Amino acid sequence: MDVIKTSEGDLEIAFIGHGTLMFSFDGKVIHIDPWTKLADYTTMPKADLILITHEHRDHFDNEAIKILHKESTVVVANRTVGELLPSSLVMKNGDEQTVQGIKIEAVPAYNVVHKRDSGEPFHPKGVGNGYVLTFGDKRVYVAGDTENIPEMKELRDIYCAFLPMNLPYTMAPEMAADAAKTIQPKILYPYHFGETDTSALVELLEGTEIDVRIRKMQ
């Protein structure tokens, strides 16, 4: 677990694995893309807020949501997941809401280069979400499954960024480095990186002021 100091207390980050995270802040527990393959969620804190980036099975696991859910839990999801889980709060790219006291911005997450044999992108534009969360004076960007898309140029004042790096579904190290240089976070966590050599990203960002932190996120 890493701890990020904010103007309103500590943000604790637990690295569950793959694209799955857990944040704790101001007495609230936030689960992001929880997946029962990675953890025994019956032993973990119930969620005040669950964020689902998109509908692929390694990001949307209804069993994990059921285990983590309590009466006051809010599930925030993209539109496709919202159709499968009608009780969720749907946010589309560009939406902003404050939920459980946390400001949430839904931002684009999609492929431009990497596509299926049919020619369809693994993650089509306008479907999936990334999320920017505000914790006190710190803004945290959880990118979801995306490439280094042009919309990243619009992100401002990102303190901490989580960028995916697993081919062919998201980014190569070179693409993730380009994204990081565009966003300019103080701290960068590559995540959802599978068998990708994370040292390549570290080398590509040498000489920058970005603190690249490698955690076990396979």
Pairing relationship of beta strands 74-77 and 89-90 according to DSSP bridges:
parallel
Q: Which residues neighbour 75 within 8 Å (Cβ) at sequence distance 6 or greater? A: 49, 50, 52, 65, 69, 85, 87, 88, 89
Q: What pTM did the predictor assign?
A: 0.95
Q: Which of 98, 47, 53 shows the shortest CA–CA distance to 78? A: 53
Q: What does each C-alpha distance from 48 to 26, 27, 57 come to in angstroms? A: 11, 9, 22
Residue bearing tokens 């459980």: 100
Place of tokens 């569950």: 16
Q: What value does the mean pLDDT of the chain take?
A: 95
Q: Check residue 200 and give its pLDDT.
A: 94
Grouping H, G, I as helix, E, B as strand and the rest as coil, residue 173 is helix
* Lookup: tokens for 146: 């995306």
Could you tell me how many residues make up the chain? Answer: 218
Per the model's pLDDT, the better-predicted residue between 119 and 13 turns out to be 13
Give the pLDDT mean for 67-91.
Answer: 96
Q: Three-class SS of residue 154?
A: helix
Q: Are strands 211-212 and 187-191 parallel, antiparallel or unpaired?
A: parallel
Q: Which domains does the chain have, with CATH numbers?
A: 2-212 (3.60.15.10)
Question: Reduced to 3 states, what is the DSSP secondary structure of residue 89?
Answer: strand
pLDDT at 218 over 70: no
At 195, the pLDDT band (50, 70, 90 cuts) reads confident
Identify whether the C-beta of residue 102 lies closer than 8 Å to the C-beta of residue 30.
yes
| pLDDT tops 80 at residue 53 | yes
For residue 130, the Cα-to-chain-centroid distance in whole angstroms is 6
112-169 confidence digits (pLDDT tens): 988 898 989 889 999 999 999 999 999 999 999 999 999 999 999 999 999 999 888 9
Whether 132 contacts 139, CB under 8 Å = yes
